Amino acid sequence: MPLMKSWVASANTADTSFPLNNLPYGVFSVGDNEPRCGVAIGDMILDMSRCEAAGLITLDADGAFDLPFWNDVIELGADVWAALRARLIELLSEGSAHEADVKEHLAPMADATMHMPFLVGEFTDFYAGKHHAMNVGTMFRGPENALPPNWLHIPIGYNGRASTVVVSGTDITRPNGQTKAPDADIPSFGPCKRLDIELEMGAIIGGTTQMGQPISVQEADDLIFGYVLLNDWSARDIQAWEYQPLGPFQAKAFATSISPWIVTKDALEPFRASTPAREKDLLLYLREPGPMLYDIDLEVTMAPAGKAASTIARTNYNLMYYSAAQQLTHHASSGCAMTAGDLIGSGTISGPEKSERGSLLELTWGGKEPMTLDTGETRSFIEDGDTMTLKGAAKGDGYQIGFGTCVGTIKPAVKFP
């Protein structure tokens, strides 16, 4: 699909993340105004609340945009999502008869503060990237036993904390926790010493399933509203001590960052990609009827306090072993109820090359191979003051579909007790 032209000039440049082809959804405020729903177009934000008040956009739910979240729209379903996108394209396309009216409701993106784009109902994180699983498994169990026996049959996941999912730009406090040194008789408590990121994509569920109701992979894909970049911050030393036998807990509960813009599934449609060939056939309920991944280039940068950022990894979402639709299908297969606004993390996205690894645990091989940044500093894990940034875009013919950045700066741990 070629670039769609808009009367908003900044939306027609090859370097913008927000052309007319994209139209992602976020929540913004300007000055002392209350946060409300907005749509990114070039370097501007379309104020959806004002457009609704002016009669330019109507929905079945009155006042759905005069809110600091998109959940009311998310709950309306795929037909409404499609109609809304079609109306936005009509309003913002080059030659639109509505240009003069709509122009009154644009705000410069540079003047805006971004907020959480939706209320997170539940958060589930998966472990669904094979290269990541092989790297981590090899570190701890050797290459012969890198993958657990179930890994090639089911997307492994765990229930996380919705309460600490935060929008890009939110500072992250280094967590305290209990750890145990190999030569110590008893554990100790204090700040995490092996703080890490996990480069992921997040899928936002746009529909509800009833308790006891399984869904097919196609039905699961139909329920996905859109995607965000997701950084599931990880305290590796805390995790190493606590995760036996029930898995991650405090090591993952302290923070998860997401990008400020929800990129809709419709915007990503031209970039669909297939999951890889299977080493073992999946059970029937997990088999995909078509491509369910997306070709999205991803990048991670690291910047020490006051220093320039260094790119430390580049990879692609199309390297995942399981798609978000498969993850959702497996999640609901037991009869677990899913609700609109639930968030599903893909798991760390890594590729076969060292430069494609989506965590510092892999990049420095558990801290044994420290990396040198462009500024000369070395890092095994994240230090206080470091800023980690996730970027992502699907690349089209003369345009890109971007998500905005997913940024977090590490602040020192709170002294406790």
Query: CA 133, CA 309: separation in Å to the nearest integer?
Result: 27
pLDDT of residue 184: 94
pLDDT of residue 95: 97
Q: In a structure prediction context, what are the per-residue pLDDT tens digits for the chain, which is 417 residues long?
A: 899 999 999 999 999 999 999 999 999 999 999 999 999 999 999 999 999 999 999 987 778 898 999 999 999 999 999 999 999 999 999 999 999 999 999 999 999 999 999 999 999 999 999 999 999 999 999 999 999 999 999 999 999 999 999 999 999 999 999 999 999 999 999 999 999 999 999 999 999 999 999 999 999 999 999 999 999 999 999 999 999 898 999 999 999 999 999 999 999 999 999 999 999 999 999 999 999 999 999 999 999 999 999 999 999 999 999 999 999 999 999 999 999 999 999 999 999 999 999 999 999 999 999 999 999 999 999 999 999 999 999 999 999 999 999 999 999 999 999
For tokens 């089209």, the residue is: 396
Q: Which superfamily, per CATH, for 9-115?
A: Fumarylacetoacetase, N-terminal domain (2.30.30.230)
**What tens digit of pLDDT does each residue of 315-354 get?**
999 999 999 999 999 999 999 999 999 999 999 999 999 9
pLDDT of residue 355: 98
Residues 6+ apart with CB under 8 A from 246: none
pLDDT of residue 60: 74
Burial class for 106, CB neighbours closer than 10 Å (0-12, 13-18, 19+): buried
pLDDT of residue 272: 98
Active-site amino acid positions: 132
pLDDT of residue 20: 98
Task: Evaluate whether 43 touches 10 at the Cβ level (below 8 Å).
Answer: yes
pTM of the model: 0.97
Residue (of 36, 98, 19, 108) closest to 73 by Cα position: 36
Helix (H) or strand (E) holding 118: none
What residue segments make up the domains of the chain, in order of their start? Answer: 9-115, 123-411
- Confirm whether 9-115 and 123-411 share one CATH topology: no
Fold (topology level) of 123-411: Fumarylacetoacetate hydrolase; domain 2 (3.90.850)
Secondary structure of residue 310 in the 3-state scheme: strand
Q: What is the CA radius of gyration of the chain?
A: 21
List b or e across 323-341, with b for residues whose CB sees 16 or more CB atoms inside 10 angstroms: bbbbbbbbbbeeebebebb
